[in-house]
Chain A
């Protein structure tokens, strides 16, 4: 599982409330990502990080912010959750292998916004 954990694994929250999802890795990988997965859309990148305090937007970043104050933790925050943010959220890391990178995913967080 490449040493990736996510918390919480399930969450139900109300519209308008803030929500923070945590991704934790134990192997000091530089690159970390947040994706959301919705039926018919595959996996879409929300934000990614290429080091401590170095983050950038992905293809669906509106309504989300991220922070990475330590190598091992990458936090995804929904400032004011909306029903359209109901989804399964996956964290991922890139592992450098023989000069290339392979991406591995965490177990996922199922978020429901009511």
Chain B
């Protein structure tokens, strides 16, 4: 079955710097890759996603890239702010309703002011 690995598990950056989180997946049939942000004590919130027919997607300060050949995808946050501090999860899915979504273990991002 699908396996998603996420690195690093913890990331600390200075405010204004960029942060990059990387994930790899194993099932070449996966075609949908969402990213979630989870603040302490809150639910995971979808922040951006990418589909397998697209190599890159950007939304303001966040961007995702996908390399289908290498089976890896990344989240890039530019100009980080203290409110970006949270746990980020990547996931891989065969997008037929979502029930084959497999999550990475998460990255705890600290943005130091």
Contact = CB atoms under 8 A, between A and B. Distances in A.
Decide if the interface of chain A is mainly helix, strand, loop or mixed.
strand
Contacts of B104: 42
B55 interface: no
Contact of B43 (A48, A50, A106): A106
Contact of A31 (B46, B97, B103): B97
Contacts of A58: 99
A31 B98 contact: yes
Given A90-B43, A100-B32, A102-B34, A42 B106 contact: yes
B43 A107 contact: yes
* Residues of B in contact with A, size category: 20 to 34
A37 B55 CA distance: 30
A43 B44 contact: yes
Contact of A45 (B46, B49, B101): B101
A102 B106 contact: no
Given A94-B98, A94-B99, 18 more contacts: A31-B98, A31-B99, A33-B99, A41-B105, A42-B103, A42-B105, A42-B106, A43-B89, A44-B103, A45-B102, A50-B97, A59-B102, A92-B98, A101-B32, A101-B97, A102-B34, A103-B98, A105-B43
